[in-house]
Structure 1
């Protein structure tokens, strides 16, 4: 049995934490409060973290799947896990308050992958099904042609949409495929030799982060004087952003360069991350969490907002991890 590299498992944990933090802002007061403030800038930075977390999650999959066999049987445990939470929460909330359950909710609850209950799961499932064919294509191309393909896809799927936001037909699946191919290239061929200069990745990481987060602050300041920039603060920080893509790649390369190590605790917590996502972003849990249990609109006006919302995110992560741990204990006990 191969030893798991805990550096990537830790990256998976951090990525999921950023996704939960992103949802705390996305479903919170950011869209209702438009005046520029320090808290609004922090909220915008947290939003970027969610997209970054998704990128890293997909890249980790591409990095490992390209050298392994993607089997359709492996989809079954994932389907069971998704169905357990989607159908389980549906039944619970139907028993509590039938008025919140309608036909659409029933369809999404019992057929979560088909009716896009979780957009990430639906897209990831499609990517997983395509993985064997993507792997054949990736391995059949010489490294230089594969690198050219990455450049072409990056221009079409990332650079052009970064300029003409919402004007390009870029799907979540297309974006996932680009991330998959990039990670697969890094696994098979490493960082291109021209880029392996001393301290290159440190500078790459620092510059890409500065450009990404700097673009948000610059657009915020520009919106104060020019109304055309209102609502465009995250123009260069969207999912297809070339700046976000560069930042994602720089972090991924940095983790690749960490000396491999194994830590049982990190590996165990990492195995709970998917459950954390399924619980906290369920359509019934989401409003309960962000509209009732977490008074974020009050927190947003506090000078302690950044620290408070990070602390709440940690608490949510721990509780949902514990729930997923219980589910796994029950599941594996039944199998045993």
Structure 2
């Protein structure tokens, strides 16, 4: 949604789109390869040849669904942005509605173990299309909600999500827990939160920017298929914090904060090494000219 807000109205092409994601692609490769090397050295997971191939080509083989889908989304922006600029308000809303139905609602309802939803399952680029267009719509037509309205939308979406979790817990609907973090209900909450931040005066915080830069590293490290199970189940033993509820919430917050902080430090090291290597490459190029 943030990407659509800032990028949706721009004229772009596939070359520019590629340059927007090439650094992300490289960063994903580096983190995946480092974790692969650690897995080979420390043997904290048993993996086969397919896992090795996926870790070596993480973007191509969708090792991180979000990264692969986001890169695909950015590469599609030249086409999406044409639609955003050419469509009037009514047709853009219709397009958003169509995408919500087939990318956010149908995959949720059709969660029967088969991945063949019209625009892919919840873990695909299809799930990112409607948020991108919503962000672009908000920016193009200067759509704003008052603070209380944005808070009400956020609360409404959160309540619906909570009710859906209760439904799942009591076995009324046989759906995967992960599916409740995607789809229409979280999208409603996300729109509300986004509108809240649009209502807040802009500000600059080095601390927030520093932490935000480490969130991606947190995802790349903790969600790597060769490290994820070891990290959550063997290293942190998160199952022991499931009950009572207050313990689950408290430890969830503590683990999230500490994880992001540590991964941010790791990412700082990565950035420094990358900057040194890029500087060396530039110097070598100048010497060869």
| TM-score range for the pair, normalised by the shorter chain length | 0.7 to 0.9
CA distance in 1, matches of 2:147, 2:237: 47
Per the normalisation by structure 2, the TM-score is 0.82
- Give me the whole-angstrom Cα distance separating, in 2, the residues matched to 1:319 and 1:119: 23
Counterpart position of 1:40: none
Q: Take 1:280 and 1:144, find their aligned partners in 2: how far apart are those partners? A: 42
Question: Where in structure 2 are there 5+ consecutive unaligned residues?
Answer: 280-289
Could you say if the C-alpha distance between residues 157 and 117 of structure 1 is closer, same or farther in structure 2, counting changes exceeding 3 Å? closer
SS in 2 for 1:250: helix
The reply on whether 1:178 has 2:130 as its aligned counterpart is: yes
Give the corresponding residue for 1:169. 118
Q: Displacement of 1:304 after TM fit? A: 2.4
2-structure distance, mates of 1:199, 1:291: 40
Distance 1:259 1:335 in 2: 36
Q: Which structure ranks higher in relative contact order (CA pairs < 8 Å, sequence separation ≥ 6)?
A: 1
- How far did 1:140 drift? 1.1
* Aligned CA-pair RMSD: 2.7
Task: List gaps (5 residues or longer) in structure 1.
Answer: 1-58
Provide closer, same or farther for how the CA distance between residues 198 and 83 of structure 1 changes in structure 2, counting only shifts above 3 A: closer
Q: 1:164 to 1:100 in 2, by over 3 A?
A: closer
Q: Deviations over 1:24-43 (max 9, x none)?
A: xxxxxxxxxxxxxxxxxxxx
Cα shift at 1:124: 1.0
* C-alpha distance in 2 between matches for 1:73 and 1:236: 32
- The 5 Å alignment of 1:73-92 reads 73-92=19-38
CA distance in 1, matches of 2:27, 2:147: 44
Alignment check: 8 A CA contact 1:212 1:236 kept:
no
Q: Which residue of structure 1 lines up, in the alignment, with residue 236 of structure 2?
A: 294
The structural deviation recorded for 1:276 is 1.4
1:112 to 58, 64, 68: 58
What SS class does the counterpart of residue 100 from structure 1 fall into? Answer: coil
- Deviation digits for residues 156-179 of structure 1, max 9, x if unmatched? 333445555558434222221111
Q: Per the alignment, do residues 298 and 272 of structure 1 end up closer, same or farther by CA in structure 2, a change over 3 Å counting? A: closer
What does residue 249 of structure 2 align with? Answer: 306
1:201 to 123, 136, 150: 150
